[in-house]
């Protein structure tokens, strides 16, 4: 709260918005005594409130005469222009966000990053033919989901749901259908005929 000395000798904060009769007495457009300011305020029904500290009332800037408001506005502008330029503070360090997982800049050997997770990668030599086939098929499906996210600007969940619907219905590209069969889709068997126990 910066204050400035007004023409009446009072130190006031021109940006406060509320002023006591003692602060207003003797300002341009106001009476010379505080009791005359109080009488004028009551006569003109100025907006007022009880003082935060001490006795008496404070009057709203918007209720004051135009000449007084202009003077207080000039004081506020002069006060602001006389203040030193703020010293640039270094940005405060923000605490780490526990919900977001950040990946390290360099991944350990035999690791792969996908969708914010680091997974251990098995070398090709350690995989069987069926393991390599499964891995390649899963990568094809993941790539299809990523492409759908970026192309349609939708969420990952939405992209997965739409791909799953197309795969189950058999409407997807043959390469995707083959990848789904190799990884996720289980062959559906016709229900067995129940023998009646007669």
* Residue 12 host element (H or E): strand 11-12
User: Residue 100: pLDDT above 60?
Assistant: no
Measured CA to CA, the distance from residue 155 to residue 149 in angstroms comes to 6
Measured CA to CA, the distance from residue 63 to residue 179 in angstroms comes to 76
- The CA-based angle 9-12-14, given to 5 degrees, is 125
- Interval 124-135 mean pLDDT: 79
- Cβ-count burial of 14 within 10 angstroms (0-12 exposed, 13-18 middle, 19+ buried)? buried
Please, what's the b/e burial string for 105-136 (b: 16 or more CB within 10 A of its CB; e: otherwise)? eeeeeeeeeeeeeeeeeeeeeeeeeeeeeebe
pLDDT digit string, tens, across residues 171-192: 888 888 888 888 875 655 655 5
User: Residue 36: pLDDT above 90?
Assistant: yes
Q: Is residue 38 part of a domain?
A: yes
Structurally, how many domains does the chain consist of? 2
Contact of 183 with 143, CB cutoff 8 Å: no
Residue 168: Cβ within 10 Å count:
12
Q: How confident is the model at residue 128 (pLDDT cuts 50, 70, 90)?
A: confident
pLDDT digit string, tens, across residues 152-173: 777 888 888 888 888 888 888 8
Query: Tokens 């990884």 label which residue?
Result: 183
Domain boundary residue, one of 81, 103, 120 = 81
Phi, psi of 154 (to 5 degrees): -120, 175
Q: Is residue 196 part of a domain?
A: no
What residues have CB less than 8 Å from 75, skipping those under 6 apart? 4, 6, 12, 14
Q: Is residue 21 part of a domain?
A: yes
Measured CA to CA, the distance from residue 16 to residue 1 in angstroms comes to 8
pLDDT number for residue 147: 78
Q: How confident is the model at residue 195 (pLDDT cuts 50, 70, 90)?
A: low
pLDDT number for residue 93: 65
Domain boundary residue, one of 81, 102, 124 = 81
Q: Is residue 89 part of a domain?
A: no
pLDDT digit string, tens, across residues 51-60: 888 888 999 8
pLDDT number for residue 38: 92
Measured CA to CA, the distance from residue 122 to residue 184 in angstroms comes to 20
Q: How confident is the model at residue 35 (pLDDT cuts 50, 70, 90)?
A: very high
pLDDT number for residue 61: 86
What CATH number is given to the structural domain containing 33? 1.10.10.10
Lowest mean pLDDT across 6-10, 100-104, 138-142: 100-104
Domain boundary residue, one of 81, 102, 130 = 81
Residue 107: both structure tokens together: 């991944």
Regarding whether 74 and 8 lie in a shared domain, the answer is yes
Regarding whether 68 and 117 lie in a shared domain, the answer is no
pLDDT averaged over every residue in the chain: 76
Measured CA to CA, the distance from residue 186 to residue 176 in angstroms comes to 15
Q: Is residue 147 part of a domain?
A: yes
User: Residue 99: pLDDT above 70?
Assistant: no
What is the span of the domain harbouring residue 125? Answer: 111-183
Is residue 59 helix, strand or coil?
Answer: strand
């Amino acid at each position: 709260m910066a204050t400035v000395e007004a023409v009446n000798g009072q130190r006031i904060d021109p940006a406060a918005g509320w002023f006591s009769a003692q602060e207003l007495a003797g300002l341009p457009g106001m009476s010379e005594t505080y009791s005359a300011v109080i009488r004028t305020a009551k006569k003109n029904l100025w907006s007022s409130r009880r003082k935060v500290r001490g006795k008496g009332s404070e009057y709203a800037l918007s209720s004051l005469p135009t000449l007084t408001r202009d003077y207080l506005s000039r004081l506020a502008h002069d006060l602001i222009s006389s203040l030193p330029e703020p010293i640039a503070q270094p940005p405060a360090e923000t605490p780490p966000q526990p919900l977001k997982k950040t990946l390290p800049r360099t991944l350990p050997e035999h690791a792969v990053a996908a969708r914010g997770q680091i997974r251990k990668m098995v070398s090709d030599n350690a995989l069987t033919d069926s393991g390599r086939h499964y891995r390649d098929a899963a990568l094809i499906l993941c790539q299809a989901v990523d492409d759908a996210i970026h192309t349609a600007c939708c969420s990952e969940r939405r992209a997965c749901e739409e791909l799953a619907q197309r795969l189950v219905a058999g409407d997807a590209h043959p390469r995707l259908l083959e990848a789904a069969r190799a990884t996720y889709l289980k062959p559906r068997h016709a229900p067995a005929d129940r023998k009646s126990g007669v």
